[in-house]
A and B are shown apart, each in its own frame.
Chain A
Amino acid sequence: EPEVTQTPSHQVTQMGQEVILRCVPISNHLYFYWYRQILGQKVEFLVSFYNNEISEKSEIFDDQFSVERPDGSNFTLKIRSTKLEDSAMYFCARQRGQGEAFFGQGTRLTVV
């Protein structure tokens, strides 16, 4: 299975700034996910995206977050106004059916 590729690998941003995390390329899977891992803590579900729509989102995924597939292949997570507590590793994942999910290498977001 080809890997999921995420860009950038590391991003440092000022508090209050907008960031866009990218997941490219995407194969012909139907389900895509974003997960978050705050340093030293467990991996948490953020949002799932099915058939170009959000199918489920967690409590963490508030109005500051949004997801898109702007050109039909890239899959982006946008944080409109970053907070210090948004500092984490963000993972994109793809899944086909009820099998395993395949994760990207992650983007480390540091909000200063």
Chain B
Amino acid sequence: AQSVAQPEDQVNVAEGNPLTVKCTYSVSGNPYLFWYVQYPNRGLQFLLKYITGDNLVKGSYGFEAEFNKSQTSFHLKKPSALVSDSALYFCAVRDFSSNTGKLIFGQGTTLQVKP
């Protein structure tokens, strides 16, 4: 079965420092991986995706993620965190075991950036 794990419920980082939000996946075949961000009382906003190509993908708001096939990971990164980055972050993988392409989400990681 396809699955995604986010091992940290919360990540705390000081403003200006680099941040990493971890994600590992388990899929059969090549993974289609996504990161979404959710601000309080808001919907899910797409940040970036990996489907094929370069292992380092760049997305919105200065975020990037590194696909590592050997470690089955897709960690979200940003070189310099902002207080406004504080939000709930979800990693997701496309489920190809069905033909609908639905997303399977990790449990989410709360990012707290302190001034």
Which A positions have Cβ atoms within 8 angstroms of B? 4, 6, 31, 33, 35, 41-45, 48, 50, 55-56, 91, 93, 95, 98-106, 108
Chain B: interface residue count, which band? 20 to 34
Residues A99 and B49 in contact, CB atoms below 8 Å apart? yes
Among B36-64, those with CB < 8 Å from A are 36, 41-46, 49, 51
Inter-chain contacts of A4 with B (CB < 8 A)? 43
Beyond A43-B105, A100-B49, A103-B43, 12 additional contacts (C-beta under 8 Å) are: A42-B90, A42-B105, A45-B104, A48-B100, A56-B100, A91-B43, A98-B51, A98-B101, A100-B46, A101-B46, A101-B103, A103-B36
Q: What are the 4 closest A-B residue pairs judged by CB atoms, nearest first?
A: A105-B43, A48-B100, A103-B44, A43-B105
A-B contact count (CB 8 A): 62
Residues A43 and B43 in contact, CB atoms below 8 Å apart? no
Residues B100 and A31 in contact, CB atoms below 8 Å apart? yes
| Neighbour of B106 across the interface among A6, A42, A55, A93, CB < 8 A | A42
